[in-house]
Structure 1
Amino acid sequence: MGTGPAKRTAAPRPRALTGRATVLIVVFVALALAYTYPLRVYLAQKSEIAQMEADQAAQRQQIALDQQELAKWKDPEYLRAQARKRLSYVLPGETPLLVINDPAGAARESGNKAAPATPDRWYDTLWSSVQSADAEPRN
């Protein structure tokens, strides 16, 4: 019985992926790729619908504001007030008074100096400063 040490035999290792597991993984990847495009289209359509609903709500609000404005214009008193304000209309027997902004005329009438002249354009100021710098004597 002493024939020597026992010979070690290698046990077969199980394969990491069997054929069935590989086929199953390929099917899952194919399904994922097949559902990606329709899912993307679905999500894009959902966002478009949400945007359109928001636009529609804003338009409804604008329509409500316009209807309120139209109701104001149907009131004769509001119409008279707007005619006075915008078109300077007066009722018969009233004396219209129109104020014109004329600072030079007001200064003449009050005896004060006229309003100061408007400043020169920027490029005129720049050119005059260049000319005056050129005219200065050099040391």
Structure 2
Amino acid sequence: MTQRRAPSGQGPARRPGSSRVRTTGAVRTRAVRNTGSVPKKSSRNRRTVTGSRGATKRTAAPRPRAITGRTMVLIVVFVALALAYTYPLRVYLAQESQLAQLEAEQAEERQLIAQKSQELQKWKDPEYLRAQARERLFYVREGEVPLVVRNDPAGAAAEAGQKQPAAAPDRWYDTLWSSVRAADAESPNQ
């Protein structure tokens, strides 16, 4: 078997990682009569760069696989690592958000404590205590006359000898709804 050579005279081109060597089939030779002279080479057997016989048929080389075994193993390892780290990462992020929420609640509680302590200081003052007793419990000091004002327009009108004030007019939607109910009550479809 002879190896096929490129036009430049070099051996067959090999791809990296490929151990296959292309070979042509058996070489045919003509039977030459032994006349003692050197046989002439016919122009038919000679290869030329222009290729007088037409286009030569190229053989298709096997294409390398797009994903090799090593690549597949690396992809599987990376996917496994990504899946292994997702749960701890999710737990970490949940804890971070919970911590931020607790810190915000703690700041609100500190503010509330500060407000309550100021209010407590006010209640320790005797004058503030007396003012609150007057407002809330209607306490009076000795010798003072208490005066309580009530908001009673009907009673005030009766004492003044006037008629009671007219009732406030109904709201528009109440009037509309009562007319719908009245129309429904009078409906002949019943």
TM-score greater than 0.5 by the shorter chain: yes
Matched, 1:65 2:107: no
Matches of 1:130 and 1:19, distance apart in 2: 85
Amino acid corresponding to residue 155 of structure 2 in structure 1: G
What does residue 40 of structure 1 align with? 90
What does residue 44 of structure 2 align with? 2
Matches of 1:64 and 1:28, distance apart in 2: 53
Q: After TM superposition, give the deviation of residue 119 of structure 1 in Å.
A: 7.0
Aligned pair count reads 130
* Structure 2 residues without counterparts, runs of 5 or longer: 1-42, 46-52
* Structure 1 residues without counterparts, runs of 5 or longer: 135-139
Identity of aligned residues (%): 66
Higher helix share: 1
Q: After TM superposition, give the deviation of residue 7 of structure 1 in Å.
A: 4.2
Describe the shift of the 1:86–1:12 C-alpha distance in structure 2 as closer, same or farther (beyond 3 A).
Answer: same
Give the one of 123, 132, 136 matched to 1:82.
Answer: 132
Give the one of 15, 18, 29 matched to 2:68.
Answer: 18
Amino acid corresponding to residue 102 of structure 2 in structure 1: M
Q: After TM superposition, give the deviation of residue 117 of structure 1 in Å.
A: 4.8
User: Which protein has the larger Cα radius of gyration, Structure 1 or Structure 2?
Assistant: 2
Structure 1 segments, 4+ long, off by >6 Å, are none
With normalisation by structure 1, the TM-score equals 0.79
Matched, 1:99 2:137: no
Q: Deviations over 1:58-99 (max 9, x none)?
A: 111111111111111111111100000000000101111112
Higher relative contact order (CA 8 A, sep 6+): 2
